[in-house]
C-alpha cells in the first residue's frame, strides 16, 4: 500500500491510498474524484517523507543468576 498526497485543479488537497504505483495510474486514467468538490482533474502533490522518531534501545536483560551486586540498571 502507498499513500499519495493529491491536489485537484480547484485547489483542494487530500490523501488517498493505492495498492501500488500501477493502481494509481489505472485509477488516474478512470478519474480520481476529489472528496471536496468531486472534480477528477487531480495530480500528485509535493510530499515530504514521513520519518518516525527513533525509539530508545531496550533495557538490557538481567543475568541468569539475577540482579545481584547492585549493577542492575533497573534497580536505580
Q: How many residues does the chain have?
A: 76
Nearest to 5 by CA among 42, 39, 30: 42
pLDDT tens per residue, the chain (76 residues)? 899 999 999 999 999 999 999 999 999 999 999 999 999 999 998 877 767 778 787 776 666 666 655 556 555 5
Predicted TM-score of the model (pTM): 0.59
Q: Are 63 and 57 in contact (CB under 8 A)?
A: no
Amino acid at each position: 500500500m502507498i499513500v499519495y498526497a493529491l491536489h485537484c485543479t480547484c485547489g483542494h488537497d487530500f490523501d488517498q491510498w493505492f495498492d501500488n504505483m500501477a493502481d494509481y495510474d489505472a485509477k488516474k486514467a478512470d478519474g480520481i474524484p476529489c472528496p471536496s468538490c468531486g472534480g477528477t482533474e487531480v495530480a500528485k502533490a509535493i510530499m515530504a517523507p514521513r520519518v518516525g522518531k527513533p525509539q530508545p534501545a531496550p533495557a538490557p536483560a538481567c543475568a541468569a543468576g539475577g540482579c545481584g551486586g547492585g549493577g542492575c540498571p533497573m534497580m536505580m
